[in-house]
Amino acid sequence: MTLLSSPMLIGKIERWPIAGSFTISRGAKTEAITVVAELRQGTVRGRGECVPYPRYGETPEATLEALLAMQIPVADGIDREALQQVMPSGAARNALDCAMLDLEAKLSGKRIWELLGRRAPAPCVTAYTISLGPPDIMAAAAAKVAHRPLLKVKLGGPGDPARIAAVRNAAPQSQLIVDANEAWTEADLEANLAACAAVGVTLVEQPLPAGQDGALAHIKRPLTVCADESVHDRASLEGLRERYDAVNIKLDKTGGLTEAMAMADAAKALGFDIMVGCMVATSLSMAPAILLTPEARFVDLDGPLLLAEDRDNALLYDDSLVYPPGPALWG
């Protein structure tokens, strides 16, 4: 990898209004709060964006503090390989790892996938998210986007069979994937999976709470079940083989693209399908994850589509088709 010569690291918290609100089983929010890392070397700048995740005890303020604590190591020339050892996985390392990659690409004048020896990403279909709500509200939201080929439906516990049936009725032609965000229990697991299978859902993401998902190993799964909160990096893969068929790779969990690429390779070797996921954030968060899409069965990088506005030089979304980033954005 390119060694960086005394770059300057700065960080900041940004707030991006969501168009309407975004609701999952753990609550609703009206803005995306991101932390941006910027590395400056002469006139060249590399950037990375992360989303602190309250589910893991992260806050924007603590994430920014952890990022800025790396100013001296960065100025001393720490590289990405060493970064993986001195920072824990999570949002702060993601922002810095992706900023390093962006700076490497800009200093070299090459696209980042060329430098990393990865397959060049191509335009791909991303899921579009339907927020959790009463069945009639979710059906109305689904009807507005029923032309999209892939919808991701947020579910949340009691009443989920009615919710998914309502969405299917409103969007009969769309492929459906479901995210329960840990809201189901062992008592309703099989009934909810059956209700999803009955309307042709392709995949259910994280039905049971992380650490309480052993029941998945003892039932016949009627559709693909994907780990999200139960999986973070390569170290967490081996223990999931009996419970899950797929893993959702998110850069804010892995701590950046460097670990995410290694995790994707390891997951494929273990026989897992790959889903590339995101938090609600700007195109700067999505851009590095697009390098994983050539290996993915499912792509869920719709975060910017849920915002009231995106940043300059944003990713191009042609309805549900998302294109690789231009160099002015990232990489």
Same domain, 174 and 239: yes
Known catalytic membership, residue 152: no
**Number of independent structural domains in the chain:** 2
Residue 237 lies in a domain: yes
Distances (CA, A) of 169 to 159, 163, 176, 289: 16, 10, 12, 32
Residue 331 lies in a domain: no
In sequence order, which residues have a C-beta less than 8 Å from that of residue 122 and are 6 or more positions away?
293, 294, 324
pLDDT value at position 1?
A: 47
Same domain, 157 and 235: yes
Residue 49 lies in a domain: yes
Same domain, 249 and 282: yes
Out of 116, 140, 168, a domain closes at 116
pLDDT digits (tens, 9 = 90+) for 225-245: 999 999 999 988 988 999 999
Known catalytic membership, residue 154: yes
pLDDT value at position 4?
A: 52
The CA distance from 208 to 249, in Å, is: 18
pLDDT value at position 3?
A: 45
DSSP secondary structure letter of residue 221: -
Sites in the chain below the pLDDT cut of 50:
1-3
Same domain, 112 and 128: no
Residue 3 lies in a domain: no
Same domain, 106 and 207: no
Residue 78 lies in a domain: yes
Residue 329 lies in a domain: no
Alpha helix segments (H runs only) across the chain: 60-68, 71-75, 80-86, 91-108, 112-116, 135-144, 160-170, 186-198, 251-254, 257-269, 283-289
Q: In the numeric block, which tokens belong to residue 276?
A: 């590339």
Considering the candidates 106, 152, 250, 253, report the single residue annotated as catalytic.
250
The CA distance from 73 to 71, in Å, is: 6
The CA angle 200-205-207, to the nearest 5 degrees, is 100
Same domain, 96 and 150: no
Q: Which residue pairs from 303-309 have beta carbons closer than 8 angstroms and sit at least 24 positions apart in sequence?
A: 303/32, 303/278, 303/279, 305/128, 306/18, 306/19, 306/22, 306/129, 306/280, 307/16, 307/17, 307/18, 307/19, 307/32, 307/280, 307/282, 308/16, 308/17, 308/18, 308/19, 309/16, 309/17
pLDDT digits (tens, 9 = 90+) for 97-121: 999 999 999 999 999 999 999 999 9
Same domain, 43 and 181: no
- Edge to edge, the sheet with strand 298-299 lists 128-130, 150-154, 175-179, 203-205, 224-227, 246-249, 273-276, 298-299
Out of 62, 97, 116, a domain closes at 116
Considering the candidates 154, 220, 253, 268, report the single residue annotated as catalytic.
154
The CA distance from 327 to 330, in Å, is: 5
The range of the structural domain enclosing residue 282 comes to: 124-322
pLDDT value at position 270?
A: 96
